[in-house]
Amino acid sequence: MSVMDAPTPVPSRQLVTGDPIPLEEGTDEVHGYTHLPADPGRINRLTEHDISAIPGVVRVQLDVPTGSPAPDMRRSSRTRLALAKAPDRTACETVLREVIATVRRINTPPPPPARPLADRAPTR
């Protein structure tokens, strides 16, 4: 998760040139992004609407179609991404945390049902 108080090109230019770049007065908004968590091999049940419906999310990129297994993120870090916009850093982090929680809630399968006691083998 990353939250930026400056437009993305500013830190990027500063990184390349090493020169400090003064920030111009801009909007009173903070932008951030997060890669969406994925467990390799787990079937993706997430849709773009699941994330875009969260207030503050401005863009969603899902490269893993619904119903397909998730790849290993160590080999493909750009499998899924969400961009957010909020009035301040704390609000932006809250939006991104809600995005991650939503992904985990939707893509984490429920635990298997417990077997009735009569079906269990006796323990010794």
pLDDT in tens, 64-104: 889 998 887 777 655 688 889 899 889 999 999 999 999 99
Residue 31 located in a structural domain: yes
Report pLDDT for 109.
Answer: 79
| Domain that includes residue 46, residue range | 2-109
77 neighbors 62 (Cβ within 8 angstroms): no
Q: 3-class DSSP state for residue 43?
A: strand
Which of 112, 109, 96, 111 has its CA nearest to residue 69? 109
pLDDT tens-place string over residues 21-43: 555 555 678 888 888 888 888 89
Does the pTM surpass 0.75? The reply is no
- Is the residue at 70 inside a domain? yes
Element (H, E) at 2: strand 2-4
Q: What is the pLDDT of residue 83?
A: 87
Rounded Cα gap, residues 85 and 56, in angstroms: 5
Domain count, the chain: 1
